[in-house]
A = this chain, B = another copy of it.
Amino acid sequence: MDPDGEGERPLRREPSGVTASDPPLSSSSSSSSAAASAVCARGHPVLRPAVPVPSDIEVSQSIVRDVGLLPIEIVASEAGILPPELLPWGIGKAKVMVAPTLRRLADVPDGNYVVCTGINPTPLGEGKSTTTIGIVQALGAILGKKAFACIRQPSQGPTFGIKGGAAGGGYAQVVPMEEFNLHLTGDIHAISAANNLLAAAIDSRMYHEDSQSDDALYRRLALAKSGMPFTSVMRRRLVKLGIDDTKSPEDLSTEERSKFARLDIDPSTITWNRVLDVCDRHLRKIEIGIGPAETIQPRGTNKGEVPRVQHSRTTGFDIAVASEIMAVLALARDLPDLREKLGNMVVAYSRSGMTVTADDLGCGGALTVLMKDALLPTLMQTVERTPVLVHAGPFANIAIGNSSIVADRLALKLAGEDGYVVTEAGFGADIGMEKFFNIKCRASGLKPKCAVIVATVRALKMHGGGPPVSAGKPLPREYTDENIPLVRAGCCNLVKHIENARKFGVEVVVAVNQFKSDTAAEMEAVREASLAAGAFDAVVANHWAEGGRGAEALGRAVIAACEASDVGNFRFLYDLALPIRAKVETISREIYGADGVDFSELAEQQMAQYESSGFGNLPICIAKTQYSFSCDPKAKGVPTGFRIFVREIRSCVGAGFLYPICGDIMTIPGLPTRPGFYDVDIDVETGQVIGLF
């Protein structure tokens, strides 16, 4: 994998490749032939898709210009959110006050919980986000159901690098797409601020500990404000150390003072990186603290006795969404849980092997304060004015790659018994869906009924052995001409994902996300294979070109699947009480189809350490390539006869999982020679954004 992606930009639909004379593949009553004034049953204008479909930003801007955004207060009120529960937040966005809303709706039964996932991605694109949005447009705008999409906030950095936005696409997207893709309501910025405050606290604490005696440290930490009691975060450390937390700072013994004040961080154990929401490869590995002021007189020495020592260290930056704080945001149930998880994050170990947490560093409260607004999901709308909750966006490479528990809980209560919540899981179903079930649903207690697995004929052809493709070159004929054998061969990938989903006891609906070149026979081949593999249904959908109307059949299939589903059947793949090794093996064999797992010596040591530290009962969040069931991104289809190699196992103790590293995992991308920002500008007269994609 070239993480800087010269030529790695996924092949996006090329609107210019479709001429104006091409009719849409299926006609619909909402096509451009409909009357301008047509309104739907909800009283909103019926979507009138243009042919050919313009670029995503043009669709978004044309909706805002020609149809108008529904004021977010109205979106909220139609979604069942009361005015005092809403915080409008810039153009077309609002945050929802979760706690009072959930209190009010405590007795309402949850809606139908649907996860949208996909086959293993290929450069040809599958359209998980687009389909997630398409389904709720169908359910909400066409079929008259209360329907919410819960999607992740995209990382802003890659938007200016090689990756486009993530608001969906065509006529199945969240608007305004500029607002969605830029800053949104600042949650990722809050994560960066919190992450980097903690990072500064680590290095600065080591700096002060390395140059001060226990007595001086304790005086400054606990006695500086004379007569003041321990602060709440200090009392947490006292409890951890087994010191009576009702004592006054003056009352600690010398030994207790030393234990309290000296974290004694072993620098080699620090796992906490700084973060930026920018593609900046030069920050992957850096040396910090090399300036003239970052020297210390080592404690216990006198001035001039030994030369001052440079207080430097090798570390690195990750992209902001890779921060454990993002993982915490996705998995926190509410504000008290957020406070606990943030305080419990382990950033290093002491020289005696004790965990060093954010609360030990005095930061847990401040981090929570920085994150208090970020805990509120952002309400936006689709092009058909149905509600979308945008929240969290943990890096699927190393974390769960799912939207938040908070947003899903909120949406399920707002949807109510007859309503639907479609939440998106990142990467292929072997990663995103597995983590959704085993980690997110376990943490939330919420029970899904249905998994929608998105596939495209083109991508299946690649899994069936079709030739590689590259950006800027015409697609090989295999992908543009009918080729039933290639489709049939590639369905193996889809089939394995269907079988995997069935292991969790949910119904499966396959969504064939339609491209112009797909033929009826090809699509039928996918449908047959899906039903044979145990899918409840398999439906072709054309929401990209037609909006909700294009996904109407898909929406009906989801409704039927939910009606047929019994949440009592939902089950996890493994028991948390199993040893770490057994949990990794279960996922690898059952989901990936591996013959077994090999652990490096380091990984063996880490398993022993985590189990002795009491972290052995955490769920497992495997970090591996999204492009294959195996760890080899080139192994398409359903590879067999392979083993999984676990190089090391890292922990997100605050968020609540362990993540074995299987393969090369890149945690901050770079910029290609011609980054996406070259296209981006602003019309200074209108303020209109140009060139986002």
What's the minimum C-beta distance from A316 to chain B, rounded to whole angstroms?
7
Q: Which of B178, B363, B684 contacts A336 (CB 8 A)?
A: B684
Interface size class for chain A?
35 or more
- Chain B contacts for A447, CB-based, 8 A: none
Whether B287 pairs with A287 at a CB distance below 8 angstroms is yes
Whether A677 pairs with B282 at a CB distance below 8 angstroms is no
A89-104 vs B, Cβ < 8 Å mask (1 yes, 0 no): 1110001000100000
Whether B673 pairs with A217 at a CB distance below 8 angstroms is yes
Nearest B-chain residue to A343, judged by Cβ? B681
- Chain B contacts for A286, CB-based, 8 A: 286-290
Per the bound structure, the CA–CA distance linking A277 and B231 in Å amounts to: 25
A289-320 vs B, Cβ < 8 Å mask (1 yes, 0 no): 11111100000000000000001111010000
Whether B282 pairs with A313 at a CB distance below 8 angstroms is yes
Nearest B-chain residue to A316, judged by Cβ? B291
Whether A365 pairs with B282 at a CB distance below 8 angstroms is no
Whether A199 pairs with B681 at a CB distance below 8 angstroms is no
Q: Which of B95, B183, B687 contacts A189 (CB 8 A)?
A: B183
Per the bound structure, the CA–CA distance linking A691 and B234 in Å amounts to: 13
Whether B281 pairs with A285 at a CB distance below 8 angstroms is no
- Chain B contacts for A224, CB-based, 8 A: 472, 674
Q: Which of B89, B225, B276, B681 contacts A231 (CB 8 A)?
A: B681
Per the bound structure, the CA–CA distance linking A363 and B684 in Å amounts to: 15
Asked if A220 meets B682 with Cβ closer than 8 Å, knowing A183-B189, A687-B372, the reply is no
Q: Which of B87, B294, B684 contacts A339 (CB 8 A)?
A: B684
A574-599 vs B, Cβ < 8 Å mask (1 yes, 0 no): 00000000000000000000000000
- Chain B contacts for A289, CB-based, 8 A: 281-282, 285-286
CB under 8 Å from chain B, chain A span 669-685? 670-675, 677-682, 684-685
What's the minimum C-beta distance from A24 to chain B, rounded to whole angstroms?
26
Nearest B-chain residue to A685, judged by Cβ? B336
Whether A278 pairs with B99 at a CB distance below 8 angstroms is no
What's the minimum C-beta distance from A154 to chain B, rounded to whole angstroms?
13
A612-648 vs B, Cβ < 8 Å mask (1 yes, 0 no): 0000000000000000000000000000000000000
Whether B87 pairs with A95 at a CB distance below 8 angstroms is no
Per the bound structure, the CA–CA distance linking A314 and B292 in Å amounts to: 13
- Chain B contacts for A199, CB-based, 8 A: 278, 280
Q: Which of B285, B672, B690 contacts A291 (CB 8 A)?
A: B285
Nearest B-chain residue to A338, judged by Cβ? B684
Whether B681 pairs with A221 at a CB distance below 8 angstroms is no
A484-501 vs B, Cβ < 8 Å mask (1 yes, 0 no): 000000000000000000
CB under 8 Å from chain B, chain A span 258-285? 274, 276-285
Whether A282 pairs with B276 at a CB distance below 8 angstroms is no
Whether B189 pairs with A373 at a CB distance below 8 angstroms is no
Shortest Cβ-Cβ A-B pairs, 3 listed: A365-B681, A285-B291, A189-B189
- A positions within 8 Å CB-CB of B: 3, 6, 87-91, 95, 99, 156-157, 160, 178, 182-183, 185-186, 189-190, 192-193, 196-197, 199-201, 203-204, 207-208, 212, 217, 220-221, 224-226, 231-234, 274, 276-294, 311-314, 316, 335-336, 339, 362-366, 368-370, 372-373, 472, 670-675, 677-682, 684-685, 687, 689-692
Q: List 5 A-B contacts (CB under 8 A).
A: A6-B220, A183-B193, A233-B678, A290-B314, A336-B685
